[in-house]
Amino acid sequence: MMIEPHVLCIDVGGPAKIGWADSTSATGAGLELGAALDRVSARLQEGQPVALGFEAPIWTPRRAELARITGRRGGIETTYNRAWSAGAGTGALAAALALMPWSFARLRAIAGEVSVTVDVARFRSGAASLFVWEAFVSGIGKGASHHDDALLAVRAFLARWPEVPSDVPSEPALNHAVSAAIASGLHVNAAELSMSAVVVGVTPMTLAGLSRP
């Protein structure tokens, strides 16, 4: 079994609204994100596994029925009535489409062409050193700041390790994180372009087992 990974989560937004946290309890804003990613790169160079989360929709459904193409992805989105295609979700998705390739390019500049996956089983097996996942932080589950939200998501991820079940059911998808990783020159199995990513939710239920920052 793989050792517990180093975890970094980014609360996605414009440069002035980015917050991040990692599993050492370090936190920061957008100005410090580059340095945080450089530290992740150093860990990847040393062969350590890393789990990188984005608090934004990083995959969208790929459905046959036109009436359902913007519908909720199910699971936690249905429970808390927070569809990926609603206002907050689409804003975060748009920011993530720009932030993910920037982040992956920053990692590649130091760590080189590391292997990336959105498949937790492949990550646990050691087939890839970087696992990309989605954080869902909404409503009363939110912290007092962007980096608080990211820290809660990190703790929720670690509480689920090593299984890391998803709070959104798997379905055929277009995975924008995989697309960004490929465009940035990282090694990804192209078949993962059509895979959904693991979604780790921070909700009143999950908060019951976590200490807020």
Q: Tell me the pLDDT tens digit for each residue of 86-97.
A: 989 999 999 999
Helix residue ranges, H only, the chain: 33-45, 76-79, 87-111, 120-125, 146-160, 176-183, 204-207
pLDDT of 212 > 60? The answer is no
Residue 80 belongs to a domain = yes
- Band the pLDDT of 205: cuts 50, 70, 90: low
Domain count, the chain: 1
Torsion angle of the four alpha carbons 94, 99, 100, 105, in this order, in degrees rounded to the nearest 10: 150
Write out the residue range of the structural domain in which residue 200 sits.
6-207
Average of pLDDT values for 67-80?
A: 95
Residue 213 belongs to a domain = no
User: What pLDDT shows up at residue 1?
Assistant: 56
pTM higher than 0.85 for the full model?
A: yes
Provide the 3-class DSSP secondary structure of residue 117: strand
Residue 147 belongs to a domain = yes
Q: Which residues of 39-54 are buried (b: 16+ CB within 10 A; e: fewer)?
A: bbbebbeeeebbbbbb
